[in-house]
């Protein structure tokens, strides 16, 4: 049994079921932070939100919640090298290496590679001016229920040979991330690869705008809407979520810094259920907080 008093009712922003998206793909632009682009008069996004009142259940103490079944979990892990705002890039590199070891142990994986690191803080995300050379850029909380198919942390492990791996679009992009020797060793039908995000508070306890995660077994394929994030020199495709009354949401009350989330954003061996994504959002309010902004900061890694 889980403590019902830790369940909350709150509003979550979903992408609107707008007929426009039949002919025009949703997009958000992220211009460079310096020069060459005048934002005045330019349409930087066509995304419209649909705010829905939902129940977000507590996952604390829930033994029935697992990464394999629901797409996410939290683990007990104390970091010895959490980067802070203003830290040098080497702090991020150390944290990435530490997280690789965490994931390697958790999945019993042969190979783990951390490709992306991001710091966020609890301020609204307005039109982001993006500096592609600033690895320590601190961004605001992402808006709307979403999942990013961003090629970040790759977890490789031997799988049952009865399941064939298809080298699809995701694998083709991963092909460009790995070195030649790694490609020849791991891009084989014997291996399963998963993209895993880790999410950790840099404060002792996460209060305002904690992360909410949607059980990926409750998401239908038609609930996901492909959306382009347009950066200065590339386009990243993510998915926003449309509301469906069957979706089930969870959070971790009073999440501590030693309780990072792990959640799946891609699985090459998802099977017939095609459960590939864990949708998440941190822009929602708990009923006991929100009286003022705490500068909550979190670390997000893709592995």
**What ranges in 66-141 are assigned the alpha helix state H?**
67-70, 89-107
Could you say which DSSP state residue 103 is in?
A: H
Rounded to an integer, the average pLDDT of 203-232 is 87
Distance CA 192, CA 156 (A): 6
pTM metric for this prediction: 0.81
Q: Give the total residue count for the chain.
A: 303
Nearest residue to 265 (alpha-carbon basis) of 115, 52, 134: 115
Token pair listed for 116: 């992306």
Could you say which DSSP state residue 174 is in?
A: H
Nearest residue to 209 (alpha-carbon basis) of 218, 219, 199, 195: 199
Rounded to an integer, the average pLDDT of 62-71 is 92
Nearest residue to 170 (alpha-carbon basis) of 96, 97, 239: 239
Q: Which of 27-31, 127-131, 262-266 has the lowest mean pLDDT?
A: 127-131
> In this predicted model, what pLDDT tens digit does every residue of 129-140 receive, in sequence order?
555 566 666 666
CA 259 to chain centre: 16
Rounded to an integer, the average pLDDT of 295-300 is 46
CB count in 10 Å sphere of residue 68: 9
Nearest residue to 72 (alpha-carbon basis) of 286, 227, 257, 218: 218
Q: Which residues are 264's β-sheet partners?
A: 196
Distance CA 178, CA 168 (A): 15
Res. 300 pLDDT band, cuts 50 70 90: low
pLDDT attached to residue 74 = 97
2 pLDDT above the threshold of 70: no
Distance CA 281, CA 102 (A): 24
288 pLDDT above the threshold of 50: no
240 pLDDT above the threshold of 80: yes
211 pLDDT above the threshold of 80: yes
Residues 6+ away with beta carbon under 8 Å from 18: 48
pLDDT attached to residue 208 = 78
Nearest residue to 147 (alpha-carbon basis) of 211, 231, 234: 211
Distance CA 292, CA 231 (A): 32
DSSP-assigned letters across all residues of 191-202: EEEEEEEEEEES
Token pair listed for 294: 């705490």
Given a contact cutoff of 8 angstroms between Cβ atoms, the answer to whether 55 and 35 are in contact is no
108 pLDDT above the threshold of 70: yes
Q: Which of 39-43, 135-139, 162-166, 224-228 has the lowest mean pLDDT?
A: 162-166
295 pLDDT above the threshold of 50: no
Token pair listed for 6: 């830790």
Q: Which residues are 92's β-sheet partners?
A: none
Res. 43 pLDDT band, cuts 50 70 90: confident
Which is it for strands 116-124 and 297-302: parallel, antiparallel or unpaired? Answer: antiparallel
């Amino acid at each position: 049994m889980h403590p019902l008093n830790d369940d909350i009712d709150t509003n979550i922003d979903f992408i609107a079921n707008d007929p426009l998206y039949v002919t025009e793909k949703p997009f958000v632009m992220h211009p460079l932070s310096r020069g060459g682009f005048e934002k005045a008069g330019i349409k930087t996004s066509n995304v419209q939100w649909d705010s829905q009142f939902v129940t977000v259940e507590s996952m604390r103490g829930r033994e029935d919640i697992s990464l394999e079944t629901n797409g996410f979990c939290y683990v007990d892990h104390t970091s010895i090298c959490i980067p802070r705002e203003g830290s040098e890039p080497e702090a991020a590199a150390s944290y990435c290496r530490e997280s690789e070891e965490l994931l390697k142990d958790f999945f019993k994986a042969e190979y783990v590679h951390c490709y992306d690191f991001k710091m966020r803080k609890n301020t609204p995300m307005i039109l982001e001016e993006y500096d592609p050379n600033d690895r320590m850029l601190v961004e605001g909380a992402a808006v709307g229920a979403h999942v990013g198919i961003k090629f970040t942390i790759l977890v490789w492990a031997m799988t049952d040979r009865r399941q064939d791996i298809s080298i699809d679009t995701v694998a083709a992009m991963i092909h460009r991330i790995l070195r030649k020797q790694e490609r020849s060793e791991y891009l084989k039908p014997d291996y399963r690869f998963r993209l895993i995000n880790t999410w950790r508070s840099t404060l002792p306890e996460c209060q305002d705008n904690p992360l909410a995660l949607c059980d990926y077994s409750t998401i239908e394929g038609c609930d996901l809407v492909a959306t382009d994030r347009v950066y200065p020199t590339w386009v990243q495709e993510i998915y926003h979520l449309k509301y469906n009354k069957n979706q089930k949401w969870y959070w971790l009350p009073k999440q501590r810094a030693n309780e990072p989330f792990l959640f799946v954003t891609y699985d090459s061996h998802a099977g017939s259920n095609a459960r590939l994504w864990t949708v998440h959002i941190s822009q929602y309010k708990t009923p006991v907080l929100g009286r003022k902004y705490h500068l909550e900061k979190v670390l997000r890694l893709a592995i």
